[in-house]
Amino acid sequence: MKKLAVLSVICLGAVSFLWAKISTPSIFGSNMVLQRDHACPVWGWADPNSSVSLTFAGKTYDAKADKSGNLRITLSPLEASSDPKNMIISYGGNLPDTLVYENILVGEVWLCSGQSNMQWAINRSDDADLEALSANHPNLRLISVPQVGTQIPQNNFKGSWAPASPDTGASFSAVGFLFGSRLHQILGVPVGLINNAWGGSACEAWIPRDKLRENPLSRTYLKLWEDKEKTYNYETLYKAYEEKLFQWQADQKAGKAQGRPPRKPRNDMIGQHRPANLYQGVLSPIIGYGIKGAIWYQGETNAGRGYAYRETFPLMIQSWRQAWGQGDFPFYWVQLADFNKESTEPSDSDWAELRESQTLTLDKLKNLGEAVIIDAGEGRDIHPRNKQIVAKRLLRHALAKDYGHPVPHQSPRYKSMEIKGDKILLSFESVDGSLYSFDTRTPTGFSICGENQKFVWAEAKIVGKDKVEVWAQSVPSPVAVRYAWADNPSCNLYDKIGAVTLPVTPFRTDNFSLTTIGK
């Protein structure tokens, strides 16, 4: 009997040795929210060719890992539920290593991405103290992906889901949190938010390189980096920096040092500008997780390449949708706010051109929406603190298009123009109420030009529900009009629908100057 017992222990030890640990990436775990009405995939790793079972919501799923140990299980679609459930993943029987994830809800999941204005936290926004104190929503769940820039596709990250609280909410994306908390309150279902924004990031960093090569406009930026990569050597740069620092310190001791110490070189190869770095580093680990859609706030870094953005931005959206394999999921973004000094005279503007490229994306793909915030910026700060208005204008798109709430959501867009003598009559689409000039009785922000293409400030008058008449005494034969065409325009035209006002989308009727072609 003793020999049999010893043999049993040996055999059990052998079984434990043979069976590898089951694991999943951090996007799965306790406190997570699974997307409702969606066949959510769950993936991870187990012993090669092993049989694994997953139990959730009263149903057991059996699957087999492939020869490399990769495991994938697809859950049956579930209705929204605030009733916490556990997920159990195991080899079955009495074998070791069982994963147990607790307190899982089913509801709506949104990805919050972009650069610093999406990354900007509650605790740095308007009324930060009140927003943080009211951030107690146990059925709103949050997770953030750490900033990792790399050309190597990542399959995991360090992070975990957590219920929203004054502590966890305060440091989370303000736009994301305010969007998600209001959505949670309106729908009455759990909401999960995934934040992977990175301040200063370039749009091209969010796109795989093979996609960038397909488009001539995005290929230009990629070529600049490919040339840089051939000569860039961080180790050499850092060694030179250390030598300069050593000499500066020696001069300082000798009383000969002037100015500040030498600046440590930045390793651009792992930063947020290099093409594909963020696609592989912070997007790749979560691609495929069941989501409802994405909200996006980015463009400041691409303002110097505004013309190229008209191709780069839709290319990014397409590449995400293709990789996710979840169809044309909703994608809503924030148009750039007003920023910098106000212009005394009409002129070309990189920021205006970037805004135009953002708007043109609406015509290229399906299931999109743009939140216009030309009235919500700060001339002296590229990071407007009023994230509440940003979140609300994004939320309007989601409520109207995805959740059946008939709320105003689309800012009016320029439709057509008609030259009538010395005036131009503009027509607008998506006017749900009536055009309205805020603060003054007449619209501001318009400029007009003749054949010489020299724009001057124009007078304007609202004509009926959806038309504006524009003219200038110094332009007897006008040919084109621009509205809010500046980094920081002074403009006041809205669509007024009852108590709701949505700003008219900045536009130009001409294409005289495409200031960033080839950049």
Q: Name residues whose C-beta falls within 8 Å of residue 394's C-beta, 6 or more positions apart in sequence.
A: 175, 179, 295, 332, 334, 369, 371
Average pLDDT, the chain: 94
Please give the C-alpha separations between residue 362 and each of 12, 199, 314, 330, 356, in angstroms, as whole numbers: 61, 24, 9, 12, 10
Phi and psi at residue 481, to the nearest 5°: -135, 145
The pair of structure tokens assigned to 487 is 């980094």
Instruction: Quick: pLDDT tens for 199-233.
Output: 999 999 999 999 999 999 999 999 999 999 999 99
Instruction: Report whether 495 contacts 431 (CB < 8 A).
Output: yes
- Both tokens assigned to 441: 């009785």
Is residue 3 pLDDT above 60, yes or no? no
Band (96; pLDDT cuts 50, 70, 90): low
What region, left, alpha or beta, does residue 106 occupy, with left being phi > 0 and alpha being psi -120 to 50 degrees?
A: beta
> What local confidence, expressed as pLDDT, does residue 257 receive?
74
Residue ranges per structural domain of the chain: 413-508
- Residue pair 80/62 in contact (Cβ under 8 Å)? The answer is no
pTM over 0.85: yes
Q: What is the pLDDT of residue 95?
A: 55
Q: Is the pLDDT of residue 15 over 80?
A: no
Of the candidate ranges 42-51, 249-258, 336-345, the one whose mean pLDDT is the lowest: 249-258
Report the first-to-last Cα separation within the chain, whole angstroms.
81
- Whether residue 112 is predicted with pLDDT greater than 90 in this model: the reply is yes
Query: Within 10 Å of residue 253's Cβ, how many Cβ atoms?
Result: 9
Average pLDDT of the segment spanning 332-354: 96
Mean pLDDT lowest among 94-98, 241-245, 264-268: 94-98
Q: What is the pLDDT of residue 145?
A: 98
The rounded percent of the chain whose pLDDT value lies above 70 is 94
Quick check: helix, strand or coil at residue 178? helix
User: Can you give the pLDDT at residue 422?
Assistant: 98
Going by C-alpha positions, the residue among 417, 484, 385 that lies closest to residue 128 is: 385
> If you ran DSSP here, which 8-state letter would residue 59 be given?
E
CA distances from 311 to 212, 214, 305 (A): 10, 11, 11
Q: What is the pLDDT of residue 518?
A: 38
pLDDT in tens, 139-187: 999 999 999 999 999 999 999 999 999 999 999 999 999 999 999 999 9
**How big is the chain by its Cα radius of gyration, in Å?**
27
**What's the rounded mean pLDDT across residues 450-479?**
98
pLDDT for position 19: 54
Q: Specify the pLDDT at position 328.
A: 98
In this prediction, residues 328-338 reach a mean pLDDT of: 98
Distance of CA 98 to the CA centre of its chain: 35
> Mean pLDDT, to the nearest integer, of 362-391?
97
Let me know how long the chain is: 519
DSSP secondary structure letters along 359-390: HHGGGTSSSEEEE--TTS-BTTBSS-S-HHHH
Q: By the 8 A CB rule, do 165 and 136 touch?
A: yes
Q: What is the mean pLDDT of residues 1-10?
A: 39
Which residues are within 8 A (CB) of 516 and not within 5 positions of it... i.e. 6 or more apart? 304, 305, 306, 307, 308, 350, 353
pLDDT of residue 9 exceeding 60:
no
If DSSP codes are grouped into helix, strand and coil, which group holds residue 28? coil
Confidence of residue 5 (pLDDT cuts 50, 70, 90): very low
C-alpha distances (whole Å) from 104 to each of 39, 77, 86, 192 are 16, 15, 6, 11
* Residue 45: how many other CB atoms lie within 10 Å: 18
Question: What span, in angstroms and rounded, lies between the C-alpha atoms of 100 and 30?
Answer: 8
